[in-house]
Every structure is written in structure tokens, then in C-alpha cells.
């Protein structure tokens, strides 16, 4: 592995999530530049982590930058990713790939035409908990999967985020914001999704900011804030998925997969670690992690895997195809909510290759 020559990365969008990527160190890449629509924010991150604050145009024109890490808000993902691809940069984007399949589909063609790759968050499915669950499933610990449940519910990000309006605009909401973690987890476990049915509602037309300098300010809601969907997978299982910004307290497991020989329970897919549990009768067993990268925040492991794939000529796991498939599923859940009709998912993707069990470094082979 060519870890003595890491690829150079420039961040576009130096907001809240950029700190997580800058704190995590992988030998495959090195972040050297950052930009933001608010120059002061870029300069803040640059001072904090010892990198250079420059303009986005400078990052795109810089021949030393191999990869653009797109951390802008979802409404700008397609614009920034497209510009980077046309500049012949590889791209790793925060989720979702875009706010619509119509915006996202041309990106795959631009990448192919320019001989560059797109990777997309989330990469939590490469962490210890989900890779342990994947190993158990592949080894037949619960027999053949037949169905499952997945629940994301909260009272909404306005309680902690100082500028939460974008969470309630097109391309966000509970499905587009948190759905990528849950749906990517399910595709990693069960493969691509075949059909979707859904219903949803907007509970509150206005929300109030709960923290920061704008605390107490109200803003409008333009998305569905409670959605319930049925997902039919190509491999056969049927999973119920609920996502909401209206429910501050609940007691469902985050994800359960039901099989002919037992049940597999997964922790919050927004994180890399957490308890993995199996029941083959009325008793639950906590399973020790078989993989590394569970104790901490390892955002960037998907980007490291993309670089490893470039070096070895193999597909990377947090791929554009996976992200596009998840995007179409989310779009179907939101856009057809309440129609009563099944939506046939047109796209598909390969089930990502499992990682090898390791304790200290990810084996991307």
C-alpha cells in the first residue's frame, strides 16, 4: 500500500462536520486546503488544524489537490461535485449525493468521462459494529433474512444546531438527513432495494431555534417531518423504516434484522461502534466486535477506502452507485408519500464488499 505518498485533499465547506474529518488521520490522504462561502469560517478551521484557507476556485485549479472533499450543505452538493469532476478531481461528498436523482445522475457520467471517482458518505457501515453485524449475517447466525425494522426519531436538530433551517428544506428533512445512515446500513446487510411504499406528514409548520446567537427565532418547515416506509429488497426481506423530527423520545432498537433462525440487532448507524446483539431463542447475546474502528469517530474511512481502491484498481465501498441507489430510495419515500402506490426502484448497486476482520488498521483488499 502506498501510504508513504498520501493523496492531497481540499475541503469545500468548512462548517461543523469538517472538524470530524480533520481530526481523523488516515495514511491514505492528507487534507491541506479548505474553503467556505464564509471566508472567516475557512480561516477558523485553517488556524485550528494547520492547513491553508483558500477560495474554492483555488482548490479546483490547484494541481497538487487530488481529491475534493465536498462538505457543503446538501443543496450545493451537485454543483460543487460537478465542478470538481470537471476539474478532473476525484470527489468524496458528505451525504446525500445530491438532493435529487435528476441532479445526481449526470455526475456519474461526468466522472466516467473524466476518469475520476466519486465516493459518498456515510461510511459508518465500515466501522466495527456494522462490519461485525455483516459478518454474523454472512455466516448465517440468524438463518435467512426475512424482514426487519429501522427507526430514526428525534425532536429535530433545531435544539442544538445554530443554523438549522436547511434541515427543513428540500433535500433534507429526516429522510434525507438521517436516512442515508439507515438505508446504507440496510443495503450493506441485505443488498439493493426493489420497491417502496410510504406515507408522511408535516406536523409543525414553524420551528424555533433552540441554541446559539439566533435562539428563539422561528423559521418555516417545507418538508415532511414524519415518514413511514415499507422497503422490499431484491433478495426478499421486507423492512419497515420510520424517520421523524417530531419524536424526542422512543424505545425501539435502531435496526433489527429478522431471520429464519434468529434476530440481529444493530446500534445507531450514525456511529461506528455500539453494541451488536443476536438472539437465536428468547435470550440475547452481546457479540464482541470482530472488526476495528468502533471506539471513536472515524469519518474519512470511506475516503481512505477510495484512495486504496485507486491504488489497487479495485472498487471502493462507499461508491457513487451505492449513494445514488440510496438517493433514489429516499426520493421515492418522500415524493410518493401518501400515494398508496408502490414505487419500483430503477437503480441498483453491488452490495459493498465486507472488510476483513482486523483490530487496528482497515484491510481494504
78, 97, 120 — which closes off a domain?
A: 120
User: Does 247 lie in the same domain as 140?
Assistant: yes
Look at the chain and report how many structural domains it folds into: 2
120, 154, 189 — which closes off a domain?
A: 120
Structural domain includes residue 223: yes
User: Does 158 lie in the same domain as 13?
Assistant: no
User: Does 170 lie in the same domain as 92?
Assistant: no
User: Does 334 lie in the same domain as 186?
Assistant: yes
**C-alpha to C-alpha distance for 331 and 338, rounded to whole angstroms:** 13
User: Does 151 lie in the same domain as 111?
Assistant: no
User: Does 217 lie in the same domain as 338?
Assistant: yes
Structural domain includes residue 361: no
Question: Which domain does 68 fall in, by range?
Answer: 7-120
User: Does 234 lie in the same domain as 135?
Assistant: yes
Cell 445530491: give the residue: 98
User: Does 95 lie in the same domain as 55?
Assistant: yes
96, 120, 144 — which closes off a domain?
A: 120
User: Does 100 lie in the same domain as 17?
Assistant: yes
Distances (CA, A) of 229 to 211, 244, 257, 329, 352: 32, 12, 16, 10, 23
CATH number at residue 221: 3.30.360.10
Structural domain includes residue 279: yes
User: Does 172 lie in the same domain as 116?
Assistant: no
Instruction: Kindly give the confidence (pLDDT) of every residue in the chain, 365 residues in length, as a single tens digit, with 9 standing for 90 and above.
Output: 566 699 999 999 999 899 999 999 999 999 999 999 999 999 999 999 999 999 999 999 999 999 999 999 999 999 999 999 999 999 999 999 999 999 999 999 999 999 999 999 999 999 999 999 999 999 999 999 999 999 999 999 999 998 899 899 988 899 999 999 999 999 999 999 999 999 999 999 999 999 999 999 999 999 999 999 999 999 999 999 999 999 999 999 999 999 999 999 999 999 999 999 999 988 999 999 999 998 889 999 999 999 999 999 999 999 999 999 999 999 999 999 989 999 999 999 999 999 999 755 677 87
Distances (CA, A) of 247 to 160, 168, 197, 251, 341: 15, 15, 21, 11, 26
CATH number at residue 58: 3.40.50.720
Other C-beta atoms closer than 10 Å to the C-beta of 15 total 18
Distances (CA, A) of 345 to 150, 331, 336: 19, 10, 12
E strand or H helix that includes residue 106: helix 101-114
User: Does 147 lie in the same domain as 48?
Assistant: no
Structural domain includes residue 266: yes
Amino acid at each position: 500500500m502506498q501510504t508513504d505518498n498520501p493523496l492531497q485533499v481540499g475541503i469545500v465547506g468548512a462548517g461543523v462536520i469538517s472538524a470530524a474529518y480533520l481530526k481523523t488521520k488516515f495514511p491514505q490522504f492528507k487534507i491541506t486546503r479548505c474553503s467556505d462561502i464564509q471566508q472567516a469560517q475557512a480561516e477558523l478551521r485553517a488556524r485550528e488544524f494547520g492547513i491553508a484557507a483558500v477560495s474554492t476556485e483555488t482548490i479546483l485549479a490547484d494541481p497538487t489537490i487530488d481529491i475534493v472533499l465536498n462538505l457543503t450543505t446538501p443543496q450545493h452538493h451537485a454543483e460543487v461535485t460537478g465542478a470538481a469532476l470537471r476539474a478532473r478531481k476525484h470527489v468524496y461528498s458528505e451525504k446525500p449525493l445530491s438532493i435529487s436523482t435528476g441532479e445526481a445522475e449526470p455526475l456519474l457520467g461526468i466522472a466516467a468521462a473524466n476518469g475520476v471517482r466519486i465516493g459518498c458518505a456515510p461510511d459508518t457501515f465500515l466501522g466495527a459494529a456494522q462490519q461485525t453485524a455483516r459478518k454474523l449475517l454472512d455466516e448465517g447466525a440468524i438463518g435467512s433474512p426475512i424482514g426487519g425494522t429501522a427507526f430514526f426519531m428525534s425532536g429535530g436538530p433545531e435544539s442544538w444546531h445554530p443554523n438549522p433551517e436547511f434541515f427543513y428544506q428540500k433535500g433534507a428533512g429526516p429522510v434525507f438527513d438521517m436516512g442515508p445512515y439507515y438505508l446504507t446500513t440496510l443495503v450493506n446487510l441485505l443488498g439493493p432495494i426493489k420497491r417502496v411504499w410510504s406515507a408522511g406528514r408535516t406536523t409543525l409548520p414553524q420551528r424555533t431555534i433552540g441554541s446559539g446567537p439566533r435562539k428563539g427565532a422561528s423559521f418555516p418547515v417545507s418538508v415532511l417531518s414524519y415518514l413511514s416506509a415499507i422497503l422490499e429488497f431484491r433478495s426478499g426481506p421486507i423492512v419497515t423504516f420510520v424517520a421523524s423530527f417530531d419524536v424526542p423520545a422512543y424505545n425501539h432498537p435502531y435496526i433489527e434484522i429478522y431471520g429464519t433462525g434468529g434476530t440481529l440487532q444493530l446500534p445507531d448507524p450514525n456511529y461506528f461502534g455500539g453494541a451488536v446483539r443476536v438472539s437465536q431463542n428468547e435470550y440475547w447475546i452481546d457479540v464482541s466486535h470482530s472488526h476495528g474502528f468502533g471506539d471513536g469517530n472515524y469519518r474519512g474511512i470511506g475516503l481512505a477506502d477510495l484512495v486504496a481502491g485507486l491504488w489497487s484498481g479495485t472498487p471502493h465501498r462507499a461508491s457513487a452507485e451505492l449513494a445514488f441507489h440510496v438517493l433514489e430510495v429516499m426520493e421515492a419515500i418522500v415524493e410518493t408519500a401518501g400515494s398508496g402506490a408502490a414505487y419500483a426502484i430503477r437503480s441498483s448497486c453491488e452490495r459493498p464488499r465486507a472488510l476483513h476482520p482486523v483490530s487496528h488498521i482497515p484491510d481494504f483488499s
